[in-house]
Homo-oligomer: A and B are copies of this chain.
Amino acid sequence: MELWYTEKQTENYGITAKIENTIHTEQSEFQRIDLIETKQWGKMLVLDGMVMTTDKDEFVYHEMITHLAMNTHANPKRVLVVGGGDGGAIREMLKYPSVETAVLAEIDGRVIELSKEYLPEIAGKLDDPRVDVQVVDGIKYIHDNKNSFDVILVDSTEPVGPAVGLFARDFYQGIFEALKDDGIMVAQSESPWFNSELITRVYKDIASIFPITRYYSASIPTYPSGLWSWTMGSKKYDPLEVDEAKLIEPEGTKYYHKAMHKTVFTLPKFVGELLK
């Protein structure tokens, strides 16, 4: 018997992957969580039927949500990931020697526990002494921690279910207030092919709050359309104006390297037009 997992990424299109076995399935307080072993991508974490991360291509997402902000900030000491219970963004942030505290604010403790158990390459750094894991609603956490962080990453699921509030203007305003005077935020911003209206709105919202707003994209095979994007809001530092000689080449990356720190903001024409 051949088992295939098919994700309908839209009503009319999807990806399909051959399964070696299903590892774990549960309904947590917040969502359905599935861990499956695929032949093509290794282990896959699926939340509410949507691929969140896989062994083989997770590096793209986790490097790209992290390094543009971290390498733009002059001295990121106290950093936060909202969502991101798999720990991949935390792992990347810890590559900066300046980091003293990295807080993970994840609403679903089961995602953290299952990632630590089944995805140790991704979640393994959650046990680092610099990491403070908070099982908490990110919106509430942001509200309770004003003027606290140098960098905040919004590593959310799709804008359905528990993550809807993480795509709202009020939330970005809260992040602005949770950042210090020279802080930077980055939010994952979905696919330019399938979520163009959302991208336009999120960019406009962040640009209405932060003095510097930048948007970039990268290729992630298992995410809808294969093209993914992030929006950066920054109070002081512009990634396009950093002194390239001061950029760090983070250890063990496979997608990001400092040579792309500025070029990644040059977008395909139709993508750039979403921001106008």
Contact = CB atoms under 8 A, between A and B. Distances in A.
A39 B11 contact: yes
Interface in A219-254: 219-221, 225-227, 253-254
A255 to B, nearest CB: 5
Contact of A225 (B14, B39, B226): B226
Interface of A: 6, 10-18, 38-41, 57, 60, 193, 217-221, 225-227, 253-257, 259-260, 263-264, 266-270, 272
Contact of A227 (B6, B11, B17, B221): B221
B268 A219 contact: yes
- Give how many copies assemble into the complex: 2
Given A219-B219, A221-B226, A260-B267, 5 more contacts: A10-B40, A12-B38, A13-B40, A219-B225, A257-B272
Contacts of A267: 260
Nearest to A18: B12
B270 A254 contact: yes
Contacts of A256: 268-269
Contacts of A217: 219
Given A221-B193, A221-B226, A226-B226, A16 B18 contact: no
Given A12-B39, A39-B11, A266 B260 contact: yes
Nearest to A41: B13
Contacts of A221: 193, 225-227
